[in-house]
């Protein structure tokens, strides 16, 4: 462990040096270097209060929720809404009832609601208008202007483009009964174990009309923006239960996540955060980030948030089988609930950590340091309410995640002894209890990512089929 030992020794030496150098550098810690093969924690640390809750996620509870959803035959957005035994109406009343029961058990800590709006189903030939009804449970935080959204879509389909689509059997056990049931289980466990909530509000979102063009999530994203909420992150579990490929190949120990990684979006920073969370909270469950919006030609409920400038990403099983998606064969027998539970544990660690952390810093400026002949860089940012201190991170452009972490203390400026011509720098806020915000990447002197800098949302959903 030579690197570890050096990391422990260096801060003391540098503190002595920095005292002599007056205000040039407030506080410098040695880099945290990731251990090859052990994943990349990027300096994130485990909170024992969160770790202790992960075992509460129960595969049997997830299976129960999914089996009831499947029993409704179809949950097509335009299916029967009156029947108690078939169609999307029965499904959403069941979900609403479950969430209300959790809220009763936690002394009313969850605010449960139907979230309806009307939308044109442009994928159908006659473009009908349908009632799109999300089911939401809010776990209010101390700051209700900031929200962390964790969602899955409860609608299903066999995804034809005619009226028969709404009446055909579409069990949707994996797509997306699995993600919906995971989110319901998160609402159960997190309301029970954290009834007073976190710093930010958590929204457990069960979307409708994903299959008709992400209509439910688009509606929620617009509503949150109209209400001037800051979306800390939006995560979606979609197709998270199959572990056997068509050729029999099996993978029950890794999960894919999809996020765009380009400035000014923070979605890539969210992916790195989840990657780190997996490394420290669920180390036997491998997180496999892919830096693109989604699988090729596919779409998901993180996309509307990403397009509106919010950090968003999608979880999907490692091995998909298209012979069991959007078909009557998407049944319970092909969902591995132990696997879904592991996805939910990763979700829980991420959501609880982000909701416990301060806001990210708003913008980060980088300037070449002339005193060092251009070898060092001056990094500056504005203070964040609730931040106890700050960390400056660095990675080479070729590194997929942050490899060095420097403690900047309470300062809002830092002299970085790294060559930014060859890499990226970022800053994050650290709360008093050690929770880290998402990182904000230093821009080229013009400030860092801001939602306002992101293009306006697309007027219509993407044409690709949405799973
Ligand atoms: Zn789906």
Q: Do 322 and 278 reside in the same domain of the chain?
A: yes
Average pLDDT, the chain: 88
Torsion-angle region of 233 (φ positive above 0: left; ψ -120 to 50: alpha; else: beta): beta
CA angle 234–238–312, rounded 5-degree value: 20
279 C-alpha to center of ligand 1: Å? 26
164 C-alpha to center of ligand 1: Å? 19
C-alpha 358/C-alpha 361 separation (Å) is 9
280 C-alpha to center of ligand 1: Å? 28
- What integer pLDDT is reported at residue 227 of this predicted model? 98
- What integer pLDDT is reported at residue 3 of this predicted model? 37
C-alpha 416/C-alpha 372 separation (Å) is 11
Query: Is 40 contained in some domain?
Result: no
Query: Is 39 contained in some domain?
Result: no
Query: Is 63 contained in some domain?
Result: yes
- Predicted confidence band at 462 (pLDDT cuts at 50, 70, 90)? very low
340 C-alpha to center of ligand 1: Å? 14
- What integer pLDDT is reported at residue 444 of this predicted model? 37
325 C-alpha to center of ligand 1: Å? 9
Q: Do 420 and 327 reside in the same domain of the chain?
A: no
Instruction: Give the pLDDT confidence of 172-213 residue by residue, as tens digits.
Output: 999 999 999 999 999 999 999 999 999 999 999 999 999 999
234 C-alpha to center of ligand 1: Å? 16
Q: Do 266 and 386 reside in the same domain of the chain?
A: no
286 C-alpha to center of ligand 1: Å? 22
401 C-alpha to center of ligand 1: Å? 28
385 C-alpha to center of ligand 1: Å? 37
Of 127, 457, 436, 169, give the one whose Cα is nearest residue 276.
436
Q: Do 289 and 432 reside in the same domain of the chain?
A: no
201 C-alpha to center of ligand 1: Å? 25
- Predicted confidence band at 439 (pLDDT cuts at 50, 70, 90)? very high
Task: Give the global pTM.
Answer: 0.88
Query: Is 37 contained in some domain?
Result: no
Instruction: Give the pLDDT confidence of 94-116 residue by residue, as tens digits.
Output: 999 999 999 999 999 999 999 99
Instruction: Give the pLDDT confidence of 363-384 residue by residue, as tens digits.
Output: 999 999 999 999 999 999 999 9
Query: Is 17 contained in some domain?
Result: yes
Asked whether 327 and 318 are in contact (CB, 8 A), the reply is no
Q: Do 247 and 128 reside in the same domain of the chain?
A: yes
282 C-alpha to center of ligand 1: Å? 24
438 C-alpha to center of ligand 1: Å? 27
Percentage above 90 pLDDT, the chain: 78
Q: Do 186 and 310 reside in the same domain of the chain?
A: yes
- What integer pLDDT is reported at residue 40 of this predicted model? 74
242 C-alpha to center of ligand 1: Å? 13
319 C-alpha to center of ligand 1: Å? 14
Query: Is 458 contained in some domain?
Result: no
157 C-alpha to center of ligand 1: Å? 9
Q: Do 340 and 386 reside in the same domain of the chain?
A: no
- What integer pLDDT is reported at residue 13 of this predicted model? 35
Query: Is 464 contained in some domain?
Result: no
Q: What is the CATH number of the domain that holds 104?
A: 3.40.630.10
Q: Do 150 and 137 reside in the same domain of the chain?
A: yes
Q: Is the pLDDT of residue 458 over 60?
A: no
Instruction: Give the pLDDT confidence of 258-287 residue by residue, as tens digits.
Output: 999 998 889 999 999 999 999 999 999 999
C-alpha atoms less than 13 angstroms from C-alpha of 225 in its C-beta half-sphere:
18
Task: Tell me what the mean pLDDT of segment 388-392 comes to.
Answer: 96
Other CB atoms within 10 A of residue 124 CB: 17
177 C-alpha to center of ligand 1: Å? 9
456 C-alpha to center of ligand 1: Å? 25
Query: Is 376 contained in some domain?
Result: yes
Residue 268, CA distances (Å) to 33, 173, 263, 309 in order: 20, 29, 9, 12
Q: Do 351 and 410 reside in the same domain of the chain?
A: no
Number of helices and strands in the chain (H, E): 9, 15
Supply the range of the domain harboring residue 256. Answer: 48-356
DSSP label at residue 359: P
Instruction: Give the pLDDT confidence of 24-62 residue by residue, as tens digits.
Output: 333 333 344 444 333 478 889 999 999 999 999 999 999
Instruction: Give the pLDDT confidence of 404-427 residue by residue, as tens digits.
Output: 999 999 999 999 999 999 999 999
Q: Please provide residue 430's backbone torsions phi and psi, each rounded to the nearest 5 degrees.
A: -120, 125
Q: What is the CATH number of the domain that holds 20?
A: 2.60.40.10
Q: Do 249 and 339 reside in the same domain of the chain?
A: yes
Q: How many domains does the chain have?
A: 2
- What integer pLDDT is reported at residue 42 of this predicted model? 85
Domain boundary among 356, 373, 402: 356
Other CB atoms within 10 A of residue 18 CB: 17
240 C-alpha to center of ligand 1: Å? 9
- What integer pLDDT is reported at residue 163 of this predicted model? 73
Domain boundary among 330, 356, 382: 356
- What integer pLDDT is reported at residue 456 of this predicted model? 40
For the record, the structure tokens of 112 come out as 């449960």
- What integer pLDDT is reported at residue 259 of this predicted model? 98
Instruction: Give the pLDDT confidence of 302-358 residue by residue, as tens digits.
Output: 999 999 999 999 999 999 999 999 999 999 999 999 999 999 999 999 999 999 999
188 C-alpha to center of ligand 1: Å? 22
Instruction: Give the pLDDT confidence of 219-267 residue by residue, as tens digits.
Output: 999 999 999 999 999 999 999 999 999 999 999 999 999 999 998 889 9
Q: Do 344 and 362 reside in the same domain of the chain?
A: no
- What integer pLDDT is reported at residue 120 of this predicted model? 92
296 C-alpha to center of ligand 1: Å? 14
Residue 363, CA distances (Å) to 124, 272, 397, 440 in order: 44, 19, 20, 7
- Predicted confidence band at 455 (pLDDT cuts at 50, 70, 90)? very low
209 C-alpha to center of ligand 1: Å? 10
Q: Do 150 and 207 reside in the same domain of the chain?
A: yes
239 C-alpha to center of ligand 1: Å? 6
Domain boundary among 325, 341, 356: 356
């Amino acid at each position: 462990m030579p690197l570890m030992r050096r990391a422990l020794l260096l801060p003391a030496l540098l503190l002595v040096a920095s005292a002599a150098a007056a205000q040039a550098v407030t506080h410098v810690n040695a880099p945290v270097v990731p251990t090859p093969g052990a994943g990349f924690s990027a300096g994130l640390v485990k909170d024992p209060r969160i770790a202790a809750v992960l075992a509460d996620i129960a595969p049997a509870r997830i299976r129960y929720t999914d089996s009831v959803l499947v029993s409704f035959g179809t949950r097509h957005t335009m299916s029967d809404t009156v029947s108690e035994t078939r169609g999307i109406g029965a499904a959403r009343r069941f979900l609403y009832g479950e969430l209300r029961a959790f809220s009763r058990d936690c002394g009313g800590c969850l605010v449960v609601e139907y979230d309806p709006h009307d939308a044109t189903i442009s994928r159908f030939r006659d473009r009908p208008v349908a009632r799109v009804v999300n089911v939401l449970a809010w776990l209010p935080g101390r700051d209700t202007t900031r929200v962390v959204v964790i969602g899955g879509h409860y609608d299903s389909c066999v995804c034809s483009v005619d009226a028969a689509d709404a009446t055909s059997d579409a069990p949707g056990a994996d797509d997306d009964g699995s993600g919906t049931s995971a989110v319901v289980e998160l609402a159960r466990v997190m309301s029970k174990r954290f009834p007073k909530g976190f710093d930010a509000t958590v929204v457990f979102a069960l979307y409708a009309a994903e299959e008709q063009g992400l209509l439910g999530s688009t509606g929620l994203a617009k509503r949150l923006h109209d209400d001037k909420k800051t979306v800390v992150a939006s995560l979606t579990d979609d197709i998270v239960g199959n572990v056997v490929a068509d050729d029999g190949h099996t993978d029950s120990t890794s999960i894919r996540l999809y996020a765009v990684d380009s400035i000014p979006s923070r979605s890539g920073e969210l992916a790195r955060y989840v990657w780190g969370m997996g490394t420290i909270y669920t180390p036997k469950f491998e997180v496999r980030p892919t830096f693109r919006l989604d699988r090729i030609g596919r779409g998901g409920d993180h996309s509307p948030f990403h397009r509106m400038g919010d950090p968003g990403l999608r979880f999907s099983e490692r091995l998909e089988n298209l012979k069991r998606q959007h078909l009557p064969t998407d049944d319970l027998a092909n969902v591995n609930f132990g696997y879904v539970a592991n996805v939910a544990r990763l979700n829980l660690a991420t959501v609880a950590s982000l909701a416990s952390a301060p806001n990210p810093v708003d913008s980060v400026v980088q300037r070449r340091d002339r005193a060092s002949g251009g070898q060092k860089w001056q990094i500056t940012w504005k203070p964040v309410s609730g931040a106890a201190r700050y960390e400056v991170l660095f990675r080479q452009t070729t590194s997929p995640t942050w490899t060095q972490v420097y403690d900047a203390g309470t300062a809002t400026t830092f002299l970085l002894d790294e060559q930014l011509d060859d890499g990226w720098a970022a800053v994050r806020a650290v709360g008093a209890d050690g929770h880290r915000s998402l990182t904000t990447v230093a821009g080229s002197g013009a400030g860092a990512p801001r939602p306002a800098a992101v293009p306006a949302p697309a007027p219509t959903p993407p044409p690709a089929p949405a799973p």
